[in-house]
Amino acid sequence: MAVYTDISEDDLKHFIAAYDAGELLSYKGIAEGVENSNFLLHTTKFPLILTLYEKRVDRNDLPFFLGLMQHLAARGLSCPLPLPRRDGALLGELSGRPAALISFLEGMWLRKPEAKHCREVGKALAAMHLAGEGFEIRRPNALSLAGWRELWDKSEARADEVEKGLSAEIRGEMADLEAHWSKDLPAGVIHADLFPDNVFFIGDQLSGLIDFYFACNDLLAYDVSICLNAWCFEKDGSYNITKGKALIEGYQSVRPLSAREMEALPVLARGSALRFFLTRLYDWLTTPAGALVVKKDPLEYLRKLRFHRQIRSTSEYGAL
């Protein structure tokens, strides 16, 4: 669940009055999501998503996230659009939190994506990378190499609770990634969290991307590696080469990857597996028992990291 902050009907009506959004008919909390509190609103005009930005989102990053959605939508990407208030501001305040109204995107996320869906995700990711060109606000990736060390330092003392002997493995992995990380590949705006729950489909047709709250400037191929990890492994931990091939081919049909980007994929995929392992591990160790949020399994990403470590050639991902 992700409704960390309660709202009252009166406060909400007052909040909505600043927008040209009609009269409030109903609202309810949305159980999914991890970072922010989300509500679905119905008004006399249109359905809307209300997002209250919670503690982990830096208020200074909000112009980047909201401006990016406007930039991408203006360039034809299907994604939510923040609704401006009558005074032109994209952000207001509700229940003591920064809050925004964003357009409701039709569709549902897929619980069991198939190769054909992975191809569509690859295409949409590449389209997002191209649409992101020219966006002027910059946001460095806070969850890249330096951020990983910081997170690991906070979790290391208790890491054995999750699996014995992790310490040496993770320290070694971080040192190796720091030594081999490619810094001069094509970079731009990346989504950085394009998991199945952030991609909506209507039938087999991709209807749009949501949740740009980890978006940042980083290597474009790193985003591809995040998607390989999130979309192309089965529940039993095995890598599905048919899905991987479809995702990479879909991406390449819109934005071809250079030979150097291809060669870098195994290292980038280790990095992105480590990134999600570390955030999940931190949440696993720090989320209080009984908290109304579904904790995600860090070991799923440790297994993916180990898989990528034994990759010898990018062709093992299904890429030609």
Ligand X SMILES: Nc1ncnc2c1ncn2[C@@H]1O[C@H](COP(=O)(O)OP(=O)(O)O)[C@@H](O)[C@H]1O
Give me the torsion for CA of 234, 240, 244, 245, rounded to 10°. Answer: -150
Q: What, of ligand LJ64HWYM, ligand X, none, does residue 296 touch, CB below 5 to 8 Å by kind? A: ligand LJ64HWYM
Shortest Å, Cβ 88 to ligand LJ64HWYM: 28
Q: What, of ligand X, ligand LJ64HWYM, none, does residue 102 touch, CB below 5 to 8 Å by kind? A: ligand X
Q: Does 314 bind ligand X (CB under 6 A)?
A: no
Contacts of 53 (CB under 8 A, 6+ apart): 36, 59, 62, 97, 98, 99, 100
Question: Quick one: DSSP state of residue 186?
Answer: -
Quick check: 277 and 296 in contact, CB under 8 A?
Answer: no
Binding mask 178-217 toward ligand X (x if CB under 6 A, else -) reads: -------------------xx-----------xx-x----
Contacts of 314 (CB under 8 A, 6+ apart): 262, 263, 265, 266
Shortest Å, Cβ 66 to ligand X: 12
Q: What, of ligand X, ligand LJ64HWYM, none, does residue 36 touch, CB below 5 to 8 Å by kind? A: ligand X
**Cα–Cα nearest to 73, from 218, 253, 210:** 210
CB nearer to ligand LJ64HWYM: pick between 51 and 314: 51
Part in contact with ligand X (CB under 6 A); list of ranges 27-35, 221-229, 232-240, 296-304: 27-35
Q: State which H helix or E strand residue 69 sits in.
A: helix 62-74
Q: Does 293 bind ligand X (CB under 6 A)?
A: no
Q: Does 113 bind ligand X (CB under 6 A)?
A: no
Give long-range contacts, CB 8 A cutoff, 24+ apart: 60-67.
61/139, 62/91, 62/98, 62/100, 63/90, 63/137, 64/137, 64/138, 64/139, 64/215, 65/212, 65/213, 65/215, 66/90, 66/91, 66/100, 67/135, 67/137
Q: Does 311 bind ligand X (CB under 6 A)?
A: no
Out of 12, 34, 126, 206, point to the residue binding ligand X (CB under 6 A).
34
Closest residue to ligand LJ64HWYM, judged by C-beta, is: 34
Part in contact with ligand X (CB under 6 A); list of ranges 32-40, 88-96, 244-252, 265-273: 32-40
What is the contact surface with ligand X in residues (CB under 6 A)?
Answer: 2, 30, 32-36, 38, 49, 80, 102, 104-105, 197-198, 210-211, 213
